[in-house]
């Protein structure tokens, strides 16, 4: 009897561990896609618009939605990564000084953004 109880307990624990591993994998895939959105936004800051949105698509699948808006003394990037039925959002604030220091923009670029879309 104890043997069967031990086997049932082991099967139950194995199932829980497998489920947690699957969730972790799904989160990781969504995070990777959200990061792709952040990298896209940072590499496309040279425009003159105060706001822009972009959907990133690969292999006929939506992988990320990116929103970039000018904020006081910097920018705000919102990136939502998708993987199967999961979505994960990242909100990133970067100051003008850090963007200039890291080479994403030139001095004075953020001040010259227009409100036109």
pLDDT in tens for each of the 117 residues of the chain? 666 666 767 666 666 666 667 788 888 999 999 999 999 999 988 766 789 999 999 999 999 999 999 888 889 999 999 998 899 999 999 998 898 898 888 876 656 554 443
Cβ(45)–Cβ(105) below 8 Å: yes
**Per-residue model confidence (pLDDT) at position 31:** 94
Dump strand ranges (E) for 1-117: 51-58, 61-71, 74-83, 86-95
The length of the chain, given as a count of residues: 117
φ/ψ of residue 56, rounded to 5: -100, 125
Cβ(114)–Cβ(50) below 8 Å: yes
**Per-residue model confidence (pLDDT) at position 103:** 86
Measured distance CA(48)–CA(32) in Å, rounded: 28
Q: Which two tokens stand for residue 13?
A: 């624990």
pTM of the predicted protein model: 0.74
């Amino acid at each position: 009897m104890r043997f069967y109880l031990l086997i049932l307990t082991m099967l139950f624990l194995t199932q829980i561990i497998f489920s947690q591993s699957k969730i972790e994998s799904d989160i990781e895939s969504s995070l990777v896609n959200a990061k792709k959105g952040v990298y896209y936004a940072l590499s496309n800051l040279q425009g003159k618009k105060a706001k822009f949105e972009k959907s990133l698509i690969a292999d006929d699948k939506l992988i990320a939605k990116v929103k970039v808006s000018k904020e006081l003394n910097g920018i705000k990037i919102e990136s939502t990564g998708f993987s199967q039925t999961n979505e994960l959002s990242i909100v990133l604030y970067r100051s003008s000084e850090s963007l200039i220091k890291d080479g994403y923009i030139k001095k004075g670029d953020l001040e010259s953004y227009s409100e036109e879309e």
